[in-house]
């Protein structure tokens, strides 16, 4: 399903005719996320998993499983959040990864990413470092996962 | 300057002692952005450049220059916003790139990224597709650039 929309958008860009995201593209992402059964959250601790699942349930989506492995090596990469998501994809069987990690260099705050079973980016949300926003970890994660879903047109049911 | 903080954070991660971003790391990013003189915005049109410069001025930062080149090839990559920023870095002399492009696959909305002269990610902000948020392009870009700066603790002066 996604391949068809990605192919068409690729050709539009090639022909210099691309004019922004289309409703059917967004709906195909919604459909992928709604039908995802093996959702994993790579992490070393469980705090974030509980909050993410709370929000997934509020949006009437399937729950995610905690995929526990030492994730600090993700910080050695230029985009730790993406590295962490890709590691989880390569290390376990899943059709959706929800990963949260650093956006870029130390101090750059966090990024939450949704990756599909091929490692393609479906949605994401950035937030500031704790030092700047002053929110609790729970509240920051709650806001990020909500934004990830709302920005692709999903709503609480 | 940034190298020292990145090295220290790297060692903290290696020793499994890393506990989130530190104030001095965030301040080193602020300092880099404040002292950036050759700021470029890769783009094919000028609309976004005006708005970004309006906000940079509100934050008392140097203005950016429009770096014009055909950017639609960035859409052929998995993270178009990052690809566009890296292209600009490789194609012109600058110490800061501010690029806006697609986050991931078609439908995934947009991402604005700040890259330093080595291509390291300093800050960023995501926003939904026009189809979802319904904002004008001007308003969406205004909000993204403001978020990029505020999330690393910069304020309007």
pLDDT in tens, B81-120: 999 999 999 999 999 999 999 999 999 999 999 999 999 9
Q: Looking at the partner chain, which of B20, B73, B131 has a beta carbon nearest the beta carbon of A26?
A: B131
Confidence of residue A46 (pLDDT cuts 50, 70, 90): confident
**How many angstroms separate the Cα of B124 from the Cα of each of A18, B36, B72, B110, B144?**
23, 17, 20, 10, 8
pLDDT beyond 90 at B46? no
Rounded average pLDDT over A79-88? 98
pTM of this structure: 0.96
Residues A110-145: tens digit of each pLDDT: 999 999 999 999 999 999 988 998 999 999 999 999
CA distance A66 to chain B (A): 20
Residue A1, pLDDT score:
85
Residue B44's pLDDT band (cuts 50, 70, 90): confident
pLDDT of residue B45: 78
Which of B72, B125, B128 lies nearest to residue A126, judging by beta carbons? B125
Question: Tokens standing for A104?
Answer: 């870029």
User: What pLDDT, on the 0 to 100 scale, is given for residue B47?
Assistant: 87
Q: Do B78 and A119 touch (CB under 8 A)?
A: yes
Contact A128 B78 (CB under 8 A): no
Q: Which among B26, B72, B130 has the least Cβ separation from residue A107?
A: B26
Q: Comparing C-alpha atoms, which of B125, B89, B87, B86 is closest to residue B109?
A: B125
CA distance A105 to A109: 8
Is residue B157 pLDDT above 80, yes or no? no
Backbone angles phi, psi at B67, to 5 degrees: -110, 105
Q: Which residue has the tokens 């890259």?
A: B115
Say if strands A39-43 and A96-102 run parallel, antiparallel, or are unpaired: parallel
CA B47/CA B42 separation, integer angstroms? 12
Instruction: Tell me the pLDDT band of A157, cut-offs 50, 70 and 90.
Output: confident
Mean pLDDT to the nearest integer, A69-97:
96
């Amino acid at each position: 399903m996604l391949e068809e929309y990605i192919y068409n958008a690729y050709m539009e860009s090639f022909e210099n005719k691309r004019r922004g995201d289309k409703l059917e593209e967004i709906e195909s992402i919604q459909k992928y996320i709604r039908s995802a059964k093996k959702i994993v959250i790579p992490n070393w601790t469980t705090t974030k998993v509980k909050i993410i699942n709370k929000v997934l349930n509020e949006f009437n989506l399937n729950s995610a499983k905690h995929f526990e492995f030492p994730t600090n090596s993700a910080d050695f990469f230029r985009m730790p959040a993406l590295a962490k998501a890709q590691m989880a994809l390569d290390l376990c069987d899943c059709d959706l990864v929800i990963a949260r990690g650093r956006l870029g260099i130390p101090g750059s705050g966090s990024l939450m990413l949704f990756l599909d079973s091929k490692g393609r980016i479906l949605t994401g949300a950035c937030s500031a470092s704790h030092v700047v926003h002053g929110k609790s970890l729970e509240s920051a994660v709650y806001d990020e996962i909500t934004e990830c879903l709302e920005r692709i047109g999903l709503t609480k049911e």
